[in-house]
Chain A
């Protein structure tokens, strides 16, 4: 069975500062994928970034980077230079364990202060 844990129910950050959102996972499958999604209050889930278990480099997409530490089974999302529009719910998800369907974490609510 696979499991995703997001331990931070809420996070606050000052505009223009960096913030790290934590995600740990557990799976016995050596092949898996990790995803981060953003969900603003409007409701739409927005795909941000993906990391495969065999990828050698940490994934980056613009201001988003994934701090992938395989031995520690963590896949933290780093948002650099936070903007007010980054205020949203962030979900970490994992695909693996023989299933193509991602398992979602409980989410972290991020609020960016001006």
Chain B
């Protein structure tokens, strides 16, 4: 059973909508991550938070906005997305930056 939860499981949104993806971990981990994954491809890192501070932003467009309200929660705010942003969005956490990452079940996003 995963201890990283993500909501919603599925999301369909128009290009003018604003939505948020939520991630929560209950393992006391201090690092949290957002990944984007297209079908049959490896996950692509988007953002890394370490001790609630943004540590890495892999040149992600500003229509994606991360937020880490506390050490257990990670949000990804979405605004004015494009159809090519349709993908599986995975959240992960690790004890520290160098550790093994534990992933949530993902949110399948479709942008129309």
Contact = CB atoms under 8 A, between A and B. Distances in A.
Nearest to B96: A100
A104 interface: yes
Given A43-B105, A43-B108, A95-B98, A101 B45 contact: yes
Contacts, number: 46
Interface string A69-100: 00000000000000000000101000100001
A42 B103 CA distance: 12
Contact of A47 (B45, B98, B100): B100
Given A100-B98, A104-B43, A105-B42, A44 B56 contact: no
A50 interface: yes
Nearest to B92: A45
Contact of B104 (A44, A50, A89, A105): A44
Contacts of A35: 100-101
Contacts of B92: 45
B74 interface: no
B42 A44 contact: no
A97 to B, nearest CB: 12
Interface residues of B, number: 21
A44 B101 contact: no
B90 A45 contact: yes
A106 interface: yes
The 4 closest A-B pairs by CB, nearest first: A104-B42, A100-B97, A45-B103, A43-B106
25 contacts: A37-B103, A42-B105, A43-B88, A43-B90, A43-B105, A43-B106, A44-B90, A44-B103, A44-B104, A44-B105, A45-B90, A45-B101, A46-B103, A47-B100, A47-B102, A89-B40, A91-B42, A91-B43, A95-B98, A100-B97, A100-B98, A101-B45, A101-B97, A102-B101, A105-B42
